[in-house]
Amino acid sequence: MIEGWRWYGELDRITLPEIAQTGAASIVTALHEIEYGAVWPREVIARRKAQIREAGFGWTVVESLPIHERIKRGEGDLSGLFASYRQSMANLAAEGIKVICYNFMPLLDWTRTDLTAPVRRGGTCLRFSVHKMAALELYMVERPGAEADYAEDVKVAAKAWFDAASDTERDGLVTAIMAGLPGAYPRYDAVGLKEALAPYRGLDREALRANYKRFLDEVIPAAEELGLSFGVHPDDPPRDLLGLPRIVSTADDIGWILSACDSRANGLTLCTGSLGANPVNDVPAIARRFAEKIPFAHLRNVTRDPDGSFEEAAHLQGDTDMPAVIDALLREEARRRSAGRLDADIVFRPDHGHELLGDAARRAHPGYPLIGRMRGLAELRGVIAGLQFRAPAA
């Protein structure tokens, strides 16, 4: 497996020389400064690749080549947006990029309600609290129909939090929810978020699936011709939010996506944290079931609460059996090698991480501290080494 590290380019407070000290071999990045829907120019991709190479890294995975919201909504004439997306794909392929990670979450990317929840032995982590999300929907955005989406005890807790929260705490909740949007993407306050939801009115699961199928039909044939592999990132969290459907949340969802466009280029970014936040998901089983379609992996762990809340755990703690997941990926790599494939190695990165020691002072992108992720990478590296050197089965 190839050790990767997510880097936000010039927007990142962590430098490439610092990343080199973690031992990671491959940078996972994107042109976050380019607005959604615009073509990624080849010369800009080439400059970024040269910068990464000069620092001693490879660059084979883009995360992400974002999908314009009009495509997700199926709104208007989309031919220009699809053409631009395919041109960006061609420019990436021309510079030797092999894997494109993307998601199909409407409006929001990964979503948390707390960016600095305390960790028992010190440090902080990302957290998603169901009652705070309910407070946002019920009392700040005032989404029609939100009452039906939450249990009574959650609504009681939401009202108590809202009544006790200061304006600063309420604003902080919205800021946390917006933090998952990378790069050139608008952020909203509560009023703006309410307005941003309006164009999605009436977008149900079936409609979003139809729009997703069209996206796959438009880009996967081109990916095949260009030698690219696509890996869809699961929904984070794997549940409907703000009345918007999430359609990449379970093993059945993944099965539908991979069969909707039957191609080796149509694959899965295995995110153990996103999938692990849904108690119905057996993440090691998902890794084994879809192993041949996994070009890229995010390895992290979460601890779930009974009400559906969860928080980021240390990489080898939490509710997902991480060694079992890694074992599935290593076995898939071995299968690929035995089949003579040149792309046998799976790039992975330590996803998210606790803010530890001096991380907080650096003020890196939420969820992406230096020391916390380095700890996670070291732990994952140890599991991989242990499994690689295990005694052969009798």
CA distance 220 to 228: 9
Helix (H) or strand (E) holding 47: helix 42-54
Per the annotation, the verdict on 101 as an active-site residue is no
E-strand stretches of the chain: 2-6, 26-29, 58-63, 99-102, 114-118, 124-128, 229-232, 266-271, 296-299, 301-304, 310-313, 347-350
With the C-alpha atoms ordered 12, 234, 261, 27, is the resulting torsion angle positive or negative?
A: positive
Given 36, 352, 354, 359, the catalytic residue: 352
The whole-angstrom separation of Cα 354 and Cα 363 is 13
Active-site choice (114, 327, 351, 359): 351
The one-letter amino acid code at 115 reads L
Q: Rounded CA gap, 118 and 198, in Å?
A: 35
Respond yes or no: is residue 354 known to be catalytic: no
274/392 Cα distance (integer angstroms): 32
What lies within 8 Å, CB to CB, of 160 at 6+ separation is none
282 belongs to the catalytic site:
no
Q: What angle do CA 320, 368, 364 make, to 5 degrees?
A: 160
Q: Are 54 and 84 in contact (CB under 8 A)?
A: no
Number of Cβ atoms within 10 Å of the Cβ of 305: 12
Instruction: Choose the catalytic residue: 233, 236, 253, 354.
Output: 233
Look up 163 and say whether it is catalytic: no
Of the residues 271, 315, 354, 359, only one is catalytic, namely 271
Contact 27, 71 (CB under 8 A): no
Angle formed by the axes of helices 322-338 and 370-388, nearest 10°: 60
Tell me if residue 298 is catalytic.
yes
Active-site residue among 298, 315, 354, 359?
A: 298
Per the annotation, the verdict on 233 as an active-site residue is yes
Q: Retrieve residue 159's tokens.
A: 């009202």
Catalytic residue annotation: 233, 271, 298, 351-352, 368
